Structure 1
Amino acid sequence: MKTDINRREAIRRVALLMGGAVSAPAILGLLAGCSAEPGADVAATDAEWKPTFLTQAQAALVAEVAEIMIPRTDTPGAKDVGIPAFIDKMLKDAYPQDDQTRFVAGLADFEAQARREHGRAFLELEPAQRAALVKQAHDPAVEVEQASTLPIAERNRPFILMMKELTMLGYFVSEPGATQVLQYRPVPGAYHACVPLAQAGKGRTWATQTSYRF
């Protein structure tokens, strides 16, 4: 049975991680019901998931970048919860054409950077090389984002930050992301007053907090 995840809380959390703002298409797509579904395998057979906006090659690259951002550890990674399919659906159904074009062009530039620096496609590189390329694209983009005074609608975030936003949104509204990474308790339990954070849910942040606003 699917868990009812608080989407507004997920948006609030991702906004904090993105420096205070989530793009309008991401919010609208999420509140319209888009969610990550475990089992959407980007290396699918004909009987399994296929992208409807991205090409199969683009989806494979997106999947790997998402997995670098949220890797599998003792909890599911981005691929495990269906982030590639979530991103594909969000781009197709929620993002305007200008944002779609910027994402696809940025994805192509990212792949081209791998070929320029290493002479091979991104997916052919060693894991450490892949992670380094993601960091190389991500860190300067974050600096620009943090320094910007423009409204979020006018910032035209680059591919790597669009990826980050979509990956985190999809992850935190997925059932595994909310129940295994964040704390989730669908029915309130007993009240406990002052307890150490490490004792209250093993130190994890709560997936749903009705007192928050965004």
Structure 2
Amino acid sequence: MNRREAIQRTALALGYAISAPALAGVLNGCKAQPELPFQPVFFSVPEAATVAEMAEIILPKTSTPGAKDAGVPGFIDSMLKEVYKPQAQQKFLADLKAFDDDAEKSYGERFVDLDPEQQLAHFKRHHDAALASAGTGGSTGWWNAGKGGDKPFVLVVKELTLLGFFTSQPGATEVLQYKQVPGPYHGCVPLKEVGKAWAT
């Protein structure tokens, strides 16, 4: 798997540059590995469950693997423990708690205890607010990840989810086109014949 190309594809999917900690983690060898069951080393079990559900909303299982199948929650857990600085770790945990507290305030239950439709609605509301905040440079609302151009929390989760997924074996081989040994070079091929994007 060419990590640099995976990073480029993630940045294109997100529409902006990938943050330095995420970039450093992937270039230093962090990649998602399918894990069943997922045993967190950075998160508490309830925090890990919330992150796993958020990741699955971003990349649900369809005819191709979802975020959980690709080991994305474990990837996020490892990235935060091994790559992120203590201040960024604490900020992520504080924002995760605020996200979960807001679910309880809005629906009367923690995020993981909501039904799938409520989880999706809650995530979408905060995702839309994060996009609006990021797009305007605003700093209002709990979802803003901090000062100095930090990404809003939900977009950090989205970034890590996509990065983990497209650097995992299922993401690279089942969702993207993948050939371990490249075939012949075709310099000019109509886009409609290309099909899925290439992993490498």
Normalised by the size of structure 2, how large is the TM-score? 0.89
Cα distance in 2 for residues equivalent to 1:25 and 1:138: 21
Structure 2 match to 1:211: none
Structure 2 match to 1:165: 159
C-alpha RMSD over aligned residues: 1.8
- 2:14 is the counterpart of 1:25: no
Give a deviation string over 1:57-114, Cα, whole Å, max 9, x none: 1001100100000000011000001111110100001001121111101110111111
Correspondences of 1:1-214 after superposition (within 5 Å) = 5-42=1-38, 50-148=39-137, 154-192=148-186, 194-200=188-194, 203-208=195-200
Question: Is the alpha carbon distance of 1:6 and 1:61 closer, same or farther for their aligned partners in structure 2, counting shifts above 3 Å?
Answer: same
| Percent of residue pairs identical | 50
Cα distance in 1 for residues equivalent to 2:189 and 2:17: 32
Residue range with higher mean Cα deviation, 154-163 or 108-117: 154-163
Normalised by the size of structure 1, how large is the TM-score? 0.84
In the alignment, is the contact (CA less than 8 A) between 1:179 and 1:207 conserved in 2? yes
- Between Structure 1 and Structure 2, which shows a larger proportion of helix residues? 2
Question: Is the alpha carbon distance of 1:127 and 1:91 closer, same or farther for their aligned partners in structure 2, counting shifts above 3 Å?
Answer: same
Cα distance in 2 for residues equivalent to 1:79 and 1:14: 18
Question: Is the alpha carbon distance of 1:8 and 1:40 closer, same or farther for their aligned partners in structure 2, counting shifts above 3 Å?
Answer: farther
Q: Report deviation, 1:8.
A: 0.6
In the alignment, is the contact (CA less than 8 A) between 1:102 and 1:158 conserved in 2? no
Secondary structure of 1:139's partner? helix
Secondary structure of 2:160's partner? helix
In the alignment, is the contact (CA less than 8 A) between 1:41 and 1:82 conserved in 2? no
Note the residue ranges of structure 1 that are not aligned, 5 or more in a row: 43-49, 209-214
